[in-house]
């Protein structure tokens, strides 16, 4: 199955990510975000980083989740290579997400070729048909 696909957008990057479950679609969305900045296949999986985030709805959850990638990179120099054990639960009117990010800290051996300012709600979609589809525009 195709993991993600980029679409036309005047200024920024717009993509759709797919999955048989919402969790898988979220994971693939994370890979799409990373693909704008570095080549995930070239990043060693030396560091594990646990991630917890919440959202009032699935769209806010998706924004908060993808924003973790930007935060960890800017603040800690962490470069994501893959996402493991992603779980989404619904409790007390909130969505909760936990996952394990695997990757490495930035150093000269890695090439980072692009930056992302923010994950936006613009044209965001989260749909379930035969499979799950999420659509995101990122501000670059």
Partner 1 sequence: MELKKINENIWEIPRQGSMRVPARIYISSKLLESVKRDMTLQQAKNVACLKGIQKASYVMPDAHQGYGFPIGGVAAFDLDEGIISPGGVGYDINCGVRVIKTNFFAEEIKSNIKSLLDEIFKEVPAGVGKGRAAHLSYSVLEEVCAKGAEWAVENGYGTKDDLEKTEEYGRMRDADPGCLTHRAKERGLPQLGTLGAGNHFLEIQKVSEIYDERTAKAFGIQGKGQILVMIHCGSRGLGHQVASDYIRMMENKFGIKDLPDRELINAQIRSELGQKYYKAMCAAVNFAFANRQMIAHYVREVFKKVMGTNEGMEQVYDVCHNVAKFETHEINGQKRKVCVHRKGATRSFGPGREEIPEVYRSVGQPVIIPGSMGTASYILAGTDRAEELSFGSTAHGAGRLMSRHEALRRFRGEQIKKDLESQGIELKSTSWKGVAEEASQAYKNVDEVVRISHEVGLGKLVVKVVPLGVMKG
Q: What are the residues binding partner 1 (CB under 8 A)?
A: 6-14, 37, 56, 59-60, 63-64, 67, 70-71, 73-75, 77, 106, 112-115, 117-122, 124, 137, 139-140
- Three-class secondary structure of residue 55 per DSSP: strand
Please, how many CA atoms are within 13 Å of residue 134, restricted to the half-sphere of its CB? 31
- Closest distance to partner 1 from the beta carbon of 71 (Å): 6
Rounded Cα–Cα distance for residues 54 and 56 (Å): 7
Residue placing its CB nearer to partner 1 in the complex, 74 or 85: 74
Select 61 or 88, whichever has its Cβ closest to partner 1: 61
Closest CB to partner 1 among 99 and 137?
Answer: 137
- Residue 124 Ramachandran class (φ > 0 left, ψ -120 to 50 alpha, else beta): beta
Of 24 and 88, nearer to partner 1 (C-beta) is 88
Closest CB 18 distance from partner 1, rounded Å: 18
**Residues in Cβ contact with 71 at an 8 Å cutoff, skipping those fewer than 6 apart:** none
Minimum distance from residue 83 beta carbon to partner 1 (Å): 20
92 CB neighbour count, 10 Å cutoff:
5
Tell me phi and psi for residue 114, to 5 degrees. Answer: -160, 160
What is the smallest separation between the CB atom of 130 and partner 1, expressed in angstroms?
26
């Amino acid at each position: 199955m195709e993991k993600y696909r980029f679409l036309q957008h005047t200024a920024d990057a717009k993509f759709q990510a797919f999955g048989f479950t919402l969790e898988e679609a979220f994971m693939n969305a994370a890979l799409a975000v990373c693909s704008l900045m570095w080549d995930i296949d070239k990043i060693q999986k030396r560091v594990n980083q646990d991630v917890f985030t919440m959202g009032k709805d699935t769209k806010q959850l998706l924004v908060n989740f993808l924003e973790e990638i930007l935060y960890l990179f800017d603040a800690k120099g962490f470069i994501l290579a893959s996402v493991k054990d992603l779980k989404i639960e619904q409790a007390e009117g909130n969505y909760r997400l936990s996952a394990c990010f695997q990757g490495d800290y930035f150093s000269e051996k890695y090439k980072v070729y692009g930056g992302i300012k923010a994950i936006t709600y613009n044209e965001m979609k989260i749909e379930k048909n035969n499979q799950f589809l999420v659509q995101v525009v990122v501000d670059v």
